Amino acid sequence: MKMNFPELFHYGNYRVLKKKENSIFVEDLAPASAAVVTVYEGRLILVKQWRAAIGSYTIELPGGGLEEGENPEDGARRELLEETGLKCAEIHLLSTFHPQPYFTNRFSYLFFTNSILEQGSQSLDEDEKVTVESYAVSDVLDEIRLGNLQDSELAYGLFIAQLSGLIEP
């Protein structure tokens, strides 16, 4: 992306651009992340972590930002391994999606795997604290329907997996 809007502020990989008076875009210079809908022994593997931006814990897909020059599939495998210790064989792309197309160029590659080869241990950054949890698919769908889980990436990944017949409702 190259957006022709005045730059108001720049820090790290983030540029704040003036959309109009009192309104901004955030341009992320490393906009891509990857996350994985992971089915292992018939259950969904999800990660729980504190999200200061919304002041609560979330249950999300394993995933995170791609490294510079990293292939999306490699990034998805790396994030799955780092956050959950799970190594997978086949993995395939479901789609990409934009969390806030009105605000930022950020986007995410969503993958699916149900072929876990081995389970090792997490290797997190020093400031990361991520708990791995497994759930019945139907329980997660119920919690999304009831509004108890509210993360866009989790819902987007499960929606496509369901529409594609990869998980049962």
Residues near a second copy (CB under 8 A) are 1-3, 5, 8-9, 11-14, 16, 18-27, 51-55, 58, 60, 94-107, 127, 141, 144-147, 150-153, 155-156, 158-160, 163-164, 169
How far apart are CB 23 and a second copy at their closest, in Å?
6
Cβ proximity to a second copy: between 37 and 159 the closer is 159
In the complex, what is the shortest distance from the CB of residue 117 to a second copy, in angstroms, rounded to a whole number? 27
Q: Torsion-angle region of residue 55: left (phi > 0), alpha (psi -120 to 50) or beta?
A: left
Which of 100, 119 has the CB closer to a second copy? 100
Q: Tokens at residue 15, please? A: 């540029």
- 75-81 own/partner pairs: CB under 8 Å, 24+ apart: 75/32, 75/33, 75/34, 75/109, 76/34, 76/35, 76/36, 76/109, 76/111, 79/34, 79/35, 79/36, 80/36, 80/38, 80/113, 81/120, 81/123
- In the complex with a second copy, which residue's Cβ is closer, 116 or 155? 155
Shortest distance, CB of residue 118 to a second copy, whole angstroms? 28
Nearer to a second copy, 32 or 116 (CB): 32
Q: Least distance to a second copy from the beta carbon of 48, Å?
A: 12
Residue 46 C-beta: closest distance to a second copy, Å: 13
Decide whether 69 or 147 has the Cβ nearer to a second copy. Answer: 147
Strand 116-119 and strand 131-135: the pairing is: unpaired
Contact 107, 138 (CB under 8 A): no
